[in-house]
């Protein structure tokens, strides 16, 4: 009942507002009032519970973009919209609610993976598109809700068109993106919470091991893709993988630093631009990534 009530209330309030608008205008303004009422009615008809969101749905939040939500306005993707659902999954954390932080931690880990299945090339995302998610609350968890909806949302302005690009990509493009995405996911997902290697050498070594493994897999995948630039990138990444291996096996912080510098430089996204161009993929490094390697 708690979940359904806001949906019914929103529906009723909008309908009453439309009727009042028509009743208060003069005859000369009836056409405008009717058009306005039709627009309002269409918006009401598009209201859906957040629990019914499906991958691919384009929507506008009903109210604030962040915080507790009950309904959204589903719109055709060729209309301007604020968000699109790009992935879904169910949380399997037992019977007890894992807490807001616990739910967010799961979503932080899983949503990037799910989103990349739908929109594999993060470089091709519209400027300002940020990854958000709808998660269960303590109240909805008690009713059996375990679903997480991963969405790209416009930080400012609106999105236009669908973000579903996976279906249009060629096998070699998908192979490249799968390997590349895995490398950077390994880098950021395993980042130590400590600011220095001295404070957490085991943590930094674990990160290096994960990145090295992802790089070796990526290099192996690139062997099946033709192209001079792809071949050059494969050689660059193979060397970087070796440097990450050295960092993973470092006996002390000083040895780690010696290996880490060329390892990190070796996966600078700018080094992949030529290969991406050869594969007809987006070639503009996202601003947040460019900033990291620029420093």
Cβ-Cβ contacts under 8 Å for 89 (sequence gap 6 or more): 110, 114, 147, 148, 150
Band (pLDDT 50/70/90 cuts) for residue 16 is very low
- 191/155 same-domain check: no
Asked if the model's pLDDT at residue 160 lies above 50, the reply is yes
- 209/288 same-domain check: yes
Highest mean pLDDT among 27-41, 104-118, 211-225, 280-294: 211-225
Structure tokens at 111: 């949503």
Q: Tell me the C-alpha distance between 90 and 134, whole Å.
A: 12
Residue range(s) defining the domain that contains residue 89: 76-165
- The residue among 50 and 2 whose pLDDT is bigger is 50
Q: Tell me the C-alpha distance between 113 and 8, whole Å.
A: 35
Of 123, 142, 165, the one marking the end of a domain is 165
Structure tokens at 47: 């209201």
283 located within any domain: yes
Tell me the average pLDDT of the chain. 82
- 106/119 same-domain check: yes
Q: Taking residues 106-126, report their average pLDDT.
A: 92
- 121/232 same-domain check: no
Q: What is the pLDDT of residue 95?
A: 77
- 143/213 same-domain check: no
Highest mean pLDDT among 43-52, 90-99, 109-118: 109-118
- 125/98 same-domain check: yes
Q: What is the pLDDT of residue 137?
A: 87
Q: What is the pLDDT of residue 5?
A: 21
- 180/156 same-domain check: no
179 located within any domain: yes
- 206/286 same-domain check: yes
52 located within any domain: no
Tally of structural domains, the chain: 2
CA distances, 186 to each of 157, 237, 245, 258, 277 (Å) = 31, 15, 14, 20, 24
Percent of the chain with pLDDT over 70: 80
123 located within any domain: yes
- 178/284 same-domain check: yes
- Cα torsion 172, 177, 180, 183 to 10°: value is -120
- 222/267 same-domain check: yes
- 158/265 same-domain check: no
Band (pLDDT 50/70/90 cuts) for residue 63 is low
211 located within any domain: yes
The closest alpha carbon to 244, from 183, 289, 177, belongs to 183
Is the backbone of residue 280 left (phi > 0), alpha (psi -120 to 50) or beta?
left
60 located within any domain: no
Asked if the model's pLDDT at residue 265 lies above 90, the reply is yes
Beta bridge partners of 4: none
- 139/214 same-domain check: no
Of 165, 197, 230, the one marking the end of a domain is 165
67 located within any domain: no
Q: Tell me the C-alpha distance between 211 and 265, whole Å.
A: 13
Asked if the model's pLDDT at residue 210 lies above 60, the reply is yes
24 located within any domain: no
Of 129, 149, 165, the one marking the end of a domain is 165
Q: Tell me the C-alpha distance between 204 and 260, whole Å.
A: 10
- Note whether 246 and 263 are within 8 A (CB): yes
């Amino acid at each position: 009942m708690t979940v359904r009530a806001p949906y019914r209330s929103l529906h009723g309030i909008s309908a009453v507002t439309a009727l009042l608008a028509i009743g208060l205008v003069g005859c000369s303004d009836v056409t405008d009032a009717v058009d306005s009422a039709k627009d309002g009615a269409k918006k009401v008809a598009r209201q859906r519970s957040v629990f019914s969101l499906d991958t691919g749905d384009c929507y506008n939040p009903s109210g604030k973009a962040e915080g507790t939500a009950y309904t959204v306005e589903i719109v055709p993707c060729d209309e301007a919209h604020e968000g699109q659902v790009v992935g879904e999954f169910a949380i399997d954390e037992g019977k007890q609610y894992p807490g807001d932080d616990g739910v967010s931690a799961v979503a932080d880990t899983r949503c990037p993976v799910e989103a990349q299945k739908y929109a594999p090339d993060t470089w091709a995302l519209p400027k300002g598109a940020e990854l958000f998610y709808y998660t269960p609350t303590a109240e909805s968890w008690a009713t059996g809700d375990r679903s997480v909806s991963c969405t790209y949302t416009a930080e400012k302005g609106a999105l236009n068109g669908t973000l579903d690009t996976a279906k249009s990509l060629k096998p070699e493009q998908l192979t490249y993106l799968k390997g590349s995405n895995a490398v950077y996911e390994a880098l950021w997902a395993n980042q130590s919470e400590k600011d220095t290697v001295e404070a957490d050498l085991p943590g930094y070594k674990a990160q290096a091991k994960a990145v090295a493994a992802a790089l070796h897999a990526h290099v192996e995948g690139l062997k099946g893709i033709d192209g001079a630039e792809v071949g050059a990138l494969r050689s660059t990444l193979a060397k970087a993988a070796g440097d990450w291996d050295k960092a993973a096996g470092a006996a002390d912080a000083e040895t780690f630093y010696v290996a880490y510098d060329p390892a990190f430089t070796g996966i600078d996204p700018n080094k992949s631009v030529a290969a991406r161009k050869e594969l007809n993929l987006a070639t503009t490094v996202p601003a947040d990534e460019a900033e990291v390697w620029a420093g």
